[in-house]
Structure 1
Amino acid sequence: MRTVRFFFEPTVDSPSALHGSETKGFARLRSMASVSQSLSRRTDMTIKLPLAVAAGCLCVLAHPASAQQAAAAPAAASTAVITPEIRAAVDRMASAMKSLQSLEFKADLVSEEVLADGQKIQSSSVMSASARRPDRLFIEIVSKRRNRQFYYDGKTLTVFGPVNKYYVTVPAPPTTAAMLHQVDERYGMQTPLLDVFEWGVTGVKLDKVTSAMEAGADTIGGKVCEQYAFRQKGVDWQVWIPQTEPALPCKLVIVDTVDPSQPAFSAMFTWTSAPQLADDRFAFVPPQGAKRIPLETPNVPGKQEVAPK
């Protein structure tokens, strides 16, 4: 399971928290914030999945011929396990996501931390997100333990801790998708629910899924939603899709099956219909007393910290 930097949800508001000096447990706690981040960059695995949900080839540390054979097997299996009905449901959700030029949602998040003795501790928070294609994004994650705000205006990315008023700002690529990938690769900052933002661009990739099933209907947030469960190497995930339109996801659950304790992450969504999002929603204006601090680039050879101007 990928260790997600806690950049959005540190346990304390301080410069060191913005940089990553969080406890190991809470760093692992963020590791299942998206299906697409859950398997890449594991130092203890020879197989590494890319950021898109199960997209791309399997990169096996073996001879090229062996790698090709290993990559072909999951794709062949997925043809049989993805029924036309499941594919249609997932495509319907992806189409609903792609149709949104602006989106806004609130998500109730529940994560599990695995302690050294194997005991699991749950942590809850609320994520609010606003986005406008192709180059605007605002995210806020709040709980009793932490508060982070994330501003992207098409030119820069700013992460702000409102409690102690520390923030970092770095240059960013001109699209949201490129920005999310760049800050992940360069700074180790990873986005909760990255899948939700990617599904509206790339669709839902199922080519590495080894098992898929329709699990029945649930009522979530007053809507009747169909539950779909998927398995792929190292991760189980479930998505609930409403029976009525628009087919925006009701709930997402991700389980790390590599860790023997199988910690889980869940998000329950409430969507805003046709949000009107002005530019100032995505522009960070430092409040009085705010301090800009450097953003380090940990474990990236040749990279220097980004100093405040």
Structure 2
Amino acid sequence: MKTSRMLVKRSVRSLSAMALFIIVSLGTSIGASADDADAKRLLKAMSDYLVAQQAISFEYDATLEAITKDGQKLALASSGTLLLNRPDKIRATRSSGFADIEMTFDGKTLTLLGKNLNIYAQQDVPGTVDNLVDELRNHNRPLPAADLLLIDPYEVLMQDVVDVKDLGSGVIGGVECDYLAFRAKEVDWQIWIAQGERPYPCRYVITSKFMKGDPQYSIQIRDWKAGAEVAATDFSFKNPTDARKVNLKNVADELPEHFKIGEAQ
């Protein structure tokens, strides 16, 4: 046991030394060579590509960090799918250890299906996907990667940005990507964009600076499809399982009891 503890301590020291080396390197080399204009150009190219796609679909893995009262950082993991047909149709799923939600929107009606409880709720939300994103945020139910689905992602992402870095390239899920980092007033965010003719987002990470512990939300995208690659889909709600209709607030999509805000875990 003593030997194991010594190995752990040495590993922690090694990681700390590595982190210090990375911090020093960022401060001396990358910061000096960062090309703001090139980073903005790459982000704008991604935005233009996304907006030009009539249909988009992908699978994703997401992590939402929560900070306990005693400062421990915990990660809530989920996976799902998303299918978008511009300008006003979307279907998204999200599965985690405490919720299994499917959301459909046909340009007129939003439907949330709680598969684990076999219940559903509906609300009239006429308009585009941009309008739906705003409505869901008002109900504290944000879409995964919502900023990337809007009609002008570049304008939204660049709001209040005060610092831009082009950090070269990285590999996400076997895909070589351009790696960009941005700082805004309330958040830092990073994005990895696939290189080549299809500059789609491979990973998107947001760090909150106004919350203690700087929690992050990250989403990693896989199985990207666009245009003719996306299968035709019916976006109307069919209720194949005879789910019971309830009020919107009763469709569970919140933290479980042992993660309730304000409790030390």
TM bucket by the smaller chain? 0.7 to 0.9
Q: Say if 2:154 is the partner of 1:204.
A: yes
State the superposition RMSD in angstroms: 1.9
The 3 A distance-change label for structure 1 pair 181 and 99 is: same
CA drift at 1:190: 2.5
Q: Which amino acid aligns with 1:237?
A: W
2:232 equivalent among 269, 278, 283: 278
Contact between 1:82 and 1:211, CA under 8 Å: does it hold in 2? Answer: no
Contact between 2:80 and 2:95, CA under 8 Å: does it hold in 1? Answer: yes
CA drift at 1:251: 0.6
Look up the match of 2:23: none
Look up the match of 2:121: 168
Matches within 5 A, 1:235-254: 235-254=187-206
Counting strand residues as a fraction of each chain, which structure ranks higher?
2
Q: Which amino acid aligns with 1:141?
A: R
Contact between 2:136 and 2:142, CA under 8 Å: does it hold in 1? Answer: yes
Q: 4+ runs of 1 displaced by more than 4 Å?
A: none
Instruction: Write out per-residue CA displacement over residues 166-220 of structure 1, whole angstroms, 9 at most, x where no aligned residue.
Output: 11011111311112223433x443323111112xx11313241111111121111
CA distance in 2, matches of 1:181, 1:151: 15
CA distance in 2, matches of 1:188, 1:213: 31
Look up the match of 1:219: 171
Contact between 1:102 and 1:277, CA under 8 Å: does it hold in 2? Answer: no
CA distance in 1, matches of 2:196, 2:141: 35
The 3 A distance-change label for structure 1 pair 213 and 255 is: same
Instruction: Write out per-residue CA displacement over residues 238-279 of structure 1, whole angstroms, 9 at most, x where no aligned residue.
Output: 001122120001110110111120111111111124333434
In structure 1, the gaps of 5 or more residues are 1-80, 298-309
CA drift at 1:284: 1.3
CA distance in 2, matches of 1:154, 1:216: 40
Contact between 2:65 and 2:74, CA under 8 Å: does it hold in 1? Answer: yes
CA drift at 1:123: 1.5
Q: Which amino acid aligns with 1:278?
A: A
The 3 A distance-change label for structure 1 pair 249 and 216 is: same
Q: Say if 2:111 is the partner of 1:158.
A: yes
CA distance in 2, matches of 1:269, 1:173: 28
TM-score by length of 1: 0.65
Q: Say if 2:52 is the partner of 1:94.
A: no
Contact between 1:156 and 1:170, CA under 8 Å: does it hold in 2? Answer: yes
CA distance in 2, matches of 1:82, 1:214: 6
CA distance in 1, matches of 2:38, 2:106: 39
Q: Which amino acid aligns with 1:265?
A: Y
Look up the match of 1:46: none
TM-score by length of 2: 0.75
Q: Which amino acid aligns with 1:125?
A: S
Question: Size of the alignment, in residue pairs?
Answer: 213
Look up the match of 2:79: 126
Counting helix residues as a fraction of each chain, which structure ranks higher?
2
Look up the match of 1:107: 60
Contact between 1:152 and 1:283, CA under 8 Å: does it hold in 2? Answer: yes
SS of structure 1 residue aligned to 2:97? coil
Look up the match of 2:137: 184
